[in-house]
Amino acid sequence: MRQRKLKDLDERLEMFGRYRIDSPWKFKGEWDRFFMERGAGMNADTYLEIGCGKGCFLMPHAEAERSSNFIGVECQQSVLVRALEKACDEDLRNVIFVDDKVYDVRDYFEEGELAGIYLNFSDPWPKARHAKRRLTHRDYLKSYCDVVRDGGTIEFKTDNDDLFGFTLEEIKVLDLQIEEFAVDLHGSNFESKKFMTEYEEKFSSRGKTINYLRIRNQKEQGK
Ligand SMILES: C[S@@+](CC[C@H](N)C(=O)[O-])C[C@H]1O[C@@H](n2cnc3c(N)ncnc32)[C@H](O)[C@@H]1O
């Protein structure tokens, strides 16, 4: 849902600017160095969340896993600014937020540069004519397989059963390998229930079960 523009948005973006970048393509192939120069660990695994919202998932994740790096991309500045506020409060070196809309992750990352991608409660785009806009459309999935290293992961959570069904079909077409799957994540033993997103908290508290899957990237597949 599109948020109203906050009154003092520009000042707040400026104030929390040290956790925001708006030209991610400049760091293509250089993310390791980027994080190292910020004081994060060397040769760390780097994870991307597309559509990270207010950073409710990424921030606790980055805090718990200091030896990995985390990049959150969010295209609505009024939402992103909440993530930036959290990041400045916690002052973690291993997290950064990108102020941009992802069309093709290959614009930001070299082949195999990421250890994993998270897609949490992606916009469902329910109309059939908008299917190509869904972040789990086969064209997007293919691009994720390019930038995630061999053996890396792509994780997807959603409350939307139709989007989950669509995603399973797209995965089948590409012959990708699903290694974890649940139609009720919080009734399962999977680790991925540990860090909840804002939408996950909201839907779970209303009794909606959460769909979840994890793809293991194998370079000979997904082409
Ligand atoms: C339904 S919200 C979910 C937010 C968060 N992941 C959660 O689970 O609480 C989807 C978010 O993805 C963002 N988004 C959608 N498409 C995007 C894209 N291509 N690039 C960056 N952000 C995107 C939207 O602005 C919105 O904030």
Task: Write down the pLDDT at residue 41.
Answer: 80
Same domain assignment for residues 133 and 159: yes
Query: How many other C-beta atoms lie within 10 A of the C-beta of residue 157?
Result: 25
Residue 1 has pLDDT above 60, yes or no: no
Ligand 1 environment, Cβ below 6 A? 50-53, 56, 73-76, 79, 101-102, 120-121, 123, 197-200
- Which atom of ligand 1 lies at the shortest distance from residue 101's CA? 20
| Mean per-residue pLDDT of the chain | 95
Q: Name the domain boundary from 55, 82, 110.
A: 110
DSSP class of 39? T
Same domain assignment for residues 89 and 40: yes
CATH of the domain at 89: 3.40.50.150
What would the pLDDT profile of 114-147 be if each residue is shown by its tens digit? 999 999 999 999 999 999 999 999 999 999 999 9
Same domain assignment for residues 165 and 203: yes
Task: Write down the pLDDT at residue 111.
Answer: 98
Q: Which amino acid would we find at residue 135?
A: L
pLDDT, mean of residues 72-85 = 96
Same domain assignment for residues 73 and 131: no
Q: Name the domain boundary from 93, 110, 127.
A: 110
Task: Name the residues annotated as catalytic.
Answer: 123
pTM of the shown model: 0.95
Residue 4 has pLDDT above 90, yes or no: no
What would the pLDDT profile of 144-170 be if each residue is shown by its tens digit? 999 999 999 999 999 999 999 999 999
Higher local confidence (pLDDT), 164 or 17: 164
Number of domains in the chain: 2
Residue 146 Cα to ligand 1 midpoint, Å, equals 21
Structural domain including 164 reads 116-223
Same domain assignment for residues 39 and 120: no
Q: Whose CA is nearest to atom 5 of ligand 1?
A: 53
pLDDT band for position 3 (cuts 50, 70, 90)? low
pLDDT band for position 222 (cuts 50, 70, 90)? very low
pLDDT band for position 54 (cuts 50, 70, 90)? very high
Sign of CA dihedral 69, 142, 83, 15: positive
Q: Whose CA is nearest to atom 12 of ligand 1?
A: 51
DSSP per residue, 82-119: HHHHHHHHHT-SSEEEEES--S-GGGT--TT-EEEEEE
Helix (H, G, I), strand (E, B) or coil at 70: strand
Higher local confidence (pLDDT), 190 or 41: 190
Q: Whose CA is nearest to atom 15 of ligand 1?
A: 51
Residue 56 Cα to ligand 1 midpoint, Å, equals 12
pLDDT band for position 181 (cuts 50, 70, 90)? very high
Helix (H, G, I), strand (E, B) or coil at 64: helix
Residue 53 Cα to ligand 1 midpoint, Å, equals 5
Residue 65 Cα to ligand 1 midpoint, Å, equals 23
